[in-house]
Amino acid sequence: PFQQTLAVNKKLNCCTEVLLESLDQLKTVGSNKDGLLYGVPVSIKENIAFKDHDCSCGVIINLDQPAEKDSVLVQILKKQGAIPFVKTNLPQALLSYDCSNPIYGQTVNPHNPQKTSGGSSGGEAALIGGGGSLLGIGTDLGGSIRIPASFSGICGFKPTAGRLSSQGVRPIYRGQKSVLSSPGPMARDVDSLALCMQALLCDHMFSLDPTVPPLPFNMEIYRSSRPLRIGYLENDGYTQPSPSMARGVREVKALLEQAGHTLVPYHPLKIDEIFPELMIKGFLADGGTSLLQKLKGGPEDPCLKGQFHRYRLPKWYKTIRSFLLKPKVTALSYTIVYNLLNFPVGVVTVSTVTSKDEEELKHCNGYYQDMWDKLFKEAVAGGEGLPVAVQCVALPWQDELCLRFMKEVEQLVKQSKK
C-alpha cells in the first residue's frame, strides 16, 4: 500500500509520518493468521500512541516526547494481525473542524483541493477518501470523526465513550469529563467499521484495560433485519442546515420508509440553551487556559488564530460580552450533542451536492444572521459534487444497533442509485 499512500499524501498532505516498524511487522505477521484483521494496513491519527513516535497534537511543545509504548488500541490491532503503517494529520490542538497545524501544514479535501478535509481526524479521512488506506482509527470529541468522514465521502463511527480503550490516546488537555471523547474506526464501508469494532472488542483489550466493560461485539444485532423505529431530524432550530444536508435527510427518510421502517419526527429540546451552557462551558470550563499553555512559545496556525484570540480576552471582557451578545451558532450543534449525551453515532455518505443545492444556498441566511451564519454559508458555498452524509444515532451502549442502522442506510442508498 505504501506507493499508493505516498501518491495520495503528495496530493493531499494527509500523513505525518510513515511507521517504518510496519516493514518489520510484515515479516512476522504470518504467525497470526487467525487475527480478524490479518495483513490489513491501518492508518492511525497522530495523537494515538505508537512506541517511539511523537503524539504532538500539532503543538510544538509536544514534539520530541516519543511514546514509551503502544496505545492499547495499537496493541490490539497488531494482535489481530493488522499493520499500523502511517500516522495522519490533525488540526493544531484538535479543537477544530479544519485540519492544519504549524508542524505538518494543511490537509486538503480528496474531492476538491480548494476545500478542507474537515477535522480533527482530517488526515485520516482524506487518506481513506483519497484511496490511500482501507481502515483508520480517529478520535471524536465534538464531531472529529464524523465531520471529516462526511467531508471526504467515507464512513466513520464514534462508539459509546468507554466501549473502546482510550489508554495511550493523547488528549490536548486532561480532566475534561463533561463532553466525552471517543476513539473509533473510519473506512470506505460500514462492514469494515463493524469488522474493526469486532476485532478491537476482544478479551485481550479487556485484560489490557480493565476500565473497559467486557462487552464483545454482538454480531446477532448487527446482522438483524427486523424493522426499526427511527426518529429523524431535518434541522435542530439552532444551526440552519445547508440545502444539501436537509435533502440528504429527506431522501434517506423516504428510502427507510419504503423499506418498512417506522420514521418519527422529533425536535431536540432547547439546543440554544444546551449548546452554550453544557457543551461550550463543558469543554472550555477553564476559559481555554490549559489549551493556551500548550501553545506557549510556539507558532499558531493561521486557521485558528481567531479561536485562540477569543480565549485570551480578559475575563471581565468575556463576561460583559456574553451578557450583551448571547452566544450564537456554530455548526457543531448537530455533532457535539451526541458526545454530551454519550450516544454511539456514525456517518454514511448518501449523496453529492447538486447545482440546485448551490442555488438554494443563496437564499439561506441562518436562524440568527450573525457572524457564524455568514461564515457557514461562505464555507459551504462552491461545494457542487462534494459528498453529502447523514448521521445515524443509537442509545448508549447500542453500538452494534447503530452500525446495523448505518448498514441499512448504506444498502438502501446503493440500491436506489442502481
Enzyme catalytic residues = 45, 120, 144
Secondary structure (3-state) at 418: coil
**Angle at the Cα of 24 from the Cα atoms of 17 and 72, rounded to 5 degrees:** 65
The C-alpha cell 451564519 sits at: 373
Beta-strand ranges (E) seen in 104-167 are 105-106, 108-109, 112-116, 135-140, 155-158
Residue among 261, 282, 278 nearest 269 (CA): 278
15-18 and 155-158: which strand pairing? Answer: unpaired
Q: How far apart are CA 395 and CA 230, in angstroms?
A: 12
SS3 113: strand
Residue 28 and residue 34 in contact, taking contact as beta carbons nearer than 8 Å = no
- As given in the structure block, the three cell numbers for residue 379 are 464555507
Which H or E element spans position 183? strand 182-187
Calpha distance 261→271 (Å, rounded): 27
The one-letter amino acid code at 333 reads S
For residues 108 and 123, give the distance between their C-alpha atoms in angstroms, rounded to a whole number: 8
